Amino acid sequence: MATLVVAEHNNASLNDATSKTVSAAKALGGDIDILVAGQGASAAAEAAAKIDGVRAVINVEHDLLARQMPEAMEATIVALMDGYDTVMAADTTTHKAYMPRVAAKLDTQQISSVTGIEGDTFERPIYAGNALAYVKSTDAKKVVTVRTTAFPLAGEGGSASSESKSAEIGDTGSTFVSEELTKSDRPELTGAKIVISGGRGMGSGENFALIETIADQLGAAVGASRAAVDAGYVPNDYQVGQTGKAVAPELYIAVGISGAIQHLAGMKDSKVIAAINKDEEAPIFQVADYGLVADLFKALPELEAELKKVGY
């Protein structure tokens, strides 16, 4: 039995999501290889070889893999699948975009956003996390995306073998044009130790400055509820929730967020949750370890001042 884990990386460096996906693969048992598909991705491949429990790292290089275009990823992975029973990747936008293509080409039903694996049973949230489905696959090959917040880092100290392979990718009909990445000195949302998120209660995009100030004090990432994204306050890549990102930081601070189930699905695995909301009936207080019923426009400047007092 062998699993192919597809690395999350930007060529220059490897994202922690890769190591967490390896943990999920370990739960399945069997050998684990990592595919680093990219362009000029040798640094990411070297980092992948150090992850504990990995047999081999396969580095496939191609122009069309520089940004892991879905059509090119499909061709690359399907060509490798003779040697594997399972292909597994994190449920980030990169992998979610092509994994269904791989599944369809293998005539397999994808098992999406897995949060637990026991034996041959996969646990996955459905209905925005309102229910958990436990499923088994009857397919010969399995295509699995995993919610990395549900799995720990695999640890380091491995010494996997490395090999380079070339990919044969024909005309994909898709051309990369440009990218506008959100520039931020703050930590990445899914990997941050502290996340502070704003909701519709923030009232405007400008008011997010109040949250950003505190994020910078704490070295935290800034997130948002779907309602805040829908209202146009912040870009979609801030979104925490079932249709956005899943996060599980040490501390999650929810500000002006009512706590719709779709938001809770993306943050309820946080170690500690603090919530500030003026509505004491807000559902967010049902999951918060520490709740403060207050007007956020008064509470946030106070929070800034109090944090300063304790050295931030």
Partner 1 sequence: MKVLVPVKRVLDYNVKARVKPDQSGVDLSNVKMSMNPFDEIAVEEAVRMQEAGTATETIAVSVGPAKAQETIRTALAMGMDRGVHVTTDEDLEPLAVAKILKAVAEAEGAELILMGKQAIDNDYGATGGMLAAILDWPIGQYANTLAAGDGTIEVKREIDGGLQTVNLKLPAVVTTDLRLNEPRYASLPNIMKAKRKPIDAKTPEDFSVDTTPRLTVVKVTEPKAREAGIKVEDVATLVDKLKNEAGVI
* Binding of partner 1 by 14 (CB under 8 A): no
User: From the CB of 53, what's the least distance to partner 1, in Å?
Assistant: 26
* Binding of partner 1 by 93 (CB under 8 A): yes
Touching partner 1, residues 245-264 (CB under 8 A): 245, 250-251, 261
Query: What is the spatial distance between Cα 9 and Cα 64, in angstroms, rounded to a whole number?
Result: 15
* Binding of partner 1 by 243 (CB under 8 A): yes
Mutual orientation of helices 208-218 and 296-309 as an angle, nearest 10°? Answer: 20
**Which residue type occupies 52?**
D
* Binding of partner 1 by 13 (CB under 8 A): no
Mark the segment that binds partner 1 (CB under 8 A) among 21-29, 43-51, 204-212, 232-240: 232-240
* Binding of partner 1 by 66 (CB under 8 A): no
* Binding of partner 1 by 272 (CB under 8 A): yes
| Choice between 55 and 62, CB closer to partner 1 | 62
Angle at 103 between CA 166 and CA 124, to 5 degrees: 125
Start-to-end CA distance of the chain, whole Å, equals 50
Touching partner 1, residues 177-206 (CB under 8 A): 177-182, 190, 194
Sign (positive/negative) of CA torsion 181, 187, 207, 201? Answer: positive
| Choice between 200 and 226, CB closer to partner 1 | 226
3-class SS of residue 278: coil
* Binding of partner 1 by 146 (CB under 8 A): no
Contact 202, 233 (CB under 8 A): yes
* Binding of partner 1 by 42 (CB under 8 A): no
* Binding of partner 1 by 294 (CB under 8 A): yes
| Choice between 157 and 232, CB closer to partner 1 | 232
* Binding of partner 1 by 164 (CB under 8 A): no
Which has the closest alpha carbon to 30: 117, 99, 113, 108? Answer: 117
Query: What is the spatial distance between Cα 280 and Cα 277, in angstroms, rounded to a whole number?
Result: 7
